[in-house]
Amino acid sequence: MVGILWMLCTGALFVGVTAIVKHVGDGIPPGQAAFLRYFMGLVFFIPLLPRLRAARLDRRAHGLFALRGLVHALGVTCWFFAMTRIPLAEVTALGYLAPIYVTIGAALFLGERLAVRRIAAVAVALAGALVILRPGVRELSPGHVAMLLNAVLFATSFLVAKVMADRESPTVVVAWLSVWVTMGLFPLALVDWVVPTWTQVGWLFVVAALATAGHFTMTLGLRAAPITVTQPVTFLQLVWATLLGALVFGEGIDAFVIAGGALILGAVSFITWREAVLKRRSITPPVVATKL
């Protein structure tokens, strides 16, 4: 129950992030808005500076951190762009594709085995994406393309993080991500820089605070309960985003988006459950051993 409650808080915080970014709209270019969000978010990592200095990183580690930061920066830019172009519910639902791409990438680049059940789950998730997008039935907007790219870029970022997590502490991994994303977004922000109002800066600072708090509560949730328990709770983000879009921003409730999002998250939850089962089997002693 504690893990579920933390994940409910996480969902509320991240929906708050999407709502504020939607409210700010396209008054600030996506690259600049993303840069200001991460730049102001660095203030929350000031207490971690001693740990960053104490970390002995070799050239390969710095290279991987830089790669992840630049890829993540592009993904964040795509997300900010999509938020101003398509409904909240569609942004949230298509964002669920990232774990699916992680599964595919782990099999292609990290040598993980892709069993038949995982392949079936990936197929279901891709079918869910088609239900949401409905190509040939309606025109795909640049916002949809941006979210598809976002999922691929975020999946790549996660795969690099998975490699680095075996070598460095989570604190170092998260802190360096923020530093490199900020540096990666700076050139994109300069391309089309506009002078923001103090109100816009204030809203983006709130976004940085909510996003940082969301990552913190998500970590607490994952620590308090198995991921097989907390993962399905993330589906509520789609519910909250749909209601928020309808009640606050006047966006219609699309049954196809709900159905497609359910298919995608169902596939993600199944893959998560299977990974937990396989991990449990690998550490549980055989029946004979328990009788010694």
The model's pLDDT over 90-99, given as tens digits with 9 standing for 90+, comes to 888 888 888 8
Residue predicted with more confidence, 78 or 8:
78
Say if residue 276 is in the same domain as residue 145: yes
Report the alpha-carbon distance of residue 223 to residue 98 in Å, rounded: 22
Least confident of 75-89, 144-158, 194-208, 232-246: 232-246
| Cα-trace Rg, the chain | 20
Average pLDDT over residues 68-73: 91
- pLDDT bucket at 244, cuts 50 / 70 / 90: confident
Say if residue 62 is in the same domain as residue 137: yes
Report the alpha-carbon distance of residue 98 to residue 71 in Å, rounded: 13
Say if residue 159 is in the same domain as residue 281: yes
- How many structural domains does the chain have? 2
Say if residue 155 is in the same domain as residue 238: no
Say if residue 112 is in the same domain as residue 243: no
- Check whether 71 has a pLDDT greater than 90: yes
Say if residue 160 is in the same domain as residue 269: yes
Average pLDDT over residues 138-154: 89
Residue ranges making up the domain that contains 93: 29-197+255-290
Residue predicted with more confidence, 275 or 17:
17
Residue matched to tokens 């996003």: 211
Residue 289: the pLDDT is 38
- pLDDT bucket at 228, cuts 50 / 70 / 90: low
Say if residue 23 is in the same domain as residue 39: no
Say if residue 85 is in the same domain as residue 174: yes
- pLDDT bucket at 147, cuts 50 / 70 / 90: very high
Say if residue 85 is in the same domain as residue 33: yes
Report the alpha-carbon distance of residue 146 to residue 245 in Å, rounded: 19
Mean pLDDT of the chain: 81
Per-residue pLDDT of 107-127, as tens digits, reads 887 777 777 887 888 888 888
Q: Are 210 and 21 in contact (CB under 8 A)?
A: no
Of 185, 149, 157, 154, the closest CA to residue 65 belongs to 157
Residue type for position 86? I
Q: Are 64 and 160 in contact (CB under 8 A)?
A: yes
Say if residue 141 is in the same domain as residue 205: no
Report the alpha-carbon distance of residue 276 to residue 292 in Å, rounded: 26
Identify any residues that bridge with 138 across adjacent strands, giving them in sequence order: 135
Say if residue 192 is in the same domain as residue 79: yes
Instruction: Please state the φ and ψ torsions of residue 135, each to the nearest 5 degrees.
Output: -60, 140
Of 138, 92, 127, 96, the closest CA to residue 243 belongs to 92
Per-residue pLDDT of 4-18, as tens digits, reads 788 888 888 888 888
Residue matched to tokens 């109100």: 199
Residue type for position 289? A
- pLDDT bucket at 88, cuts 50 / 70 / 90: confident
Residues 71-92 as b or e (16 or more Cβ within 10 Å = b)? bbbbbbbbbbbbbbbbbbbbbb
Say if residue 190 is in the same domain as residue 158: yes
Residue matched to tokens 């795909």: 140
